[in-house]
Amino acid sequence: MYEVEVKVPADLEAVRARLDGLEATATGAVVQADTYYDAPHRSFPETDEALRIRTERLEDDPDETRLTYKGPLVDDASKSREEVETAVGDGEKVDAVLTKLGFEPAATVRKERERFELEGYTITLDSVDDVGEYVEVETEVDDESELENAREGAFDVLERLGLDSDDQLRTSYLELLLESG
């Protein structure tokens, strides 16, 4: 599975107004804490990979925890990459397993997210602690041959939101957090 993602800095209030005008479907808000790990056998910043434990607090539901591996970016035009993710029952125990194997926590990124759906794309309005406000437009595809069409569709959604794909950041929130502090 490939995640096709485009991220730009944005004024979230203005984007909310445009989403309303486009009749996008609100799908909920969450608070996430993503703890990223460094590997003992290779440098993820050098290989452009990521390993994280995400704890997600939904409005009225119990916390959900997921373990995610993100592969290197697969193109120069977006943040598209292979992604493997699975639910875990206990984030603290997964942290203990990773730590015992030599993985070290690098940093934790905390963000509040509002999600919307529009024509097969998820639009996420992110307020990231110590980093700022961003909009992500993303979708998933099964095959690498579908990446270009999905990316062009994401650019089209950005344009309809009054945002410019030329403002796109291919930098992760983790990198932005580390650069800011």
pLDDT over 80 at 181, yes or no:
no
pLDDT score for 18: 96
| pTM (predicted TM-score) | 0.86
Query: How far lies 66's CA from each of 24, 25, 59, 78, 87, in Å?
Result: 27, 25, 17, 24, 4
Q: For residue 68, what pLDDT band results from cuts at 50, 70 and 90?
A: very high
pLDDT score for 55: 95
Q: Rounded mean pLDDT of 144-167? A: 94
pLDDT tens for each residue of 35-64: 999 999 999 989 999 999 999 987 677 789
Percent over 90 (pLDDT), the chain: 81
| Cα(123)–Cα(5) distance, integer angstroms | 10
Residues with catalytic roles? 36
Contacts of residue 33, defined as CB under 8 A and 6 or more positions apart, other chains included, come to 54, 55, 108, 109, 110
Nearest to 4 by CA among 143, 147, 103, 133: 147
Q: Rounded mean pLDDT of 129-157? A: 94
Ordered by start, the domain boundaries in the chain are 2-180
Nearest to 78 by CA among 150, 176, 157, 141: 150
| Cα(98)–Cα(104) distance, integer angstroms | 8
CB atoms under 10 Å from CB of 2, counted, come to 19
Q: Which two tokens stand for residue 48?
A: 């452009």
CATH architecture type of domain 2-180: Beta Barrel (2.40)
Q: For residue 76, what pLDDT band results from cuts at 50, 70 and 90?
A: confident
Q: Rounded mean pLDDT of 145-155? A: 93
pLDDT score for 61: 74
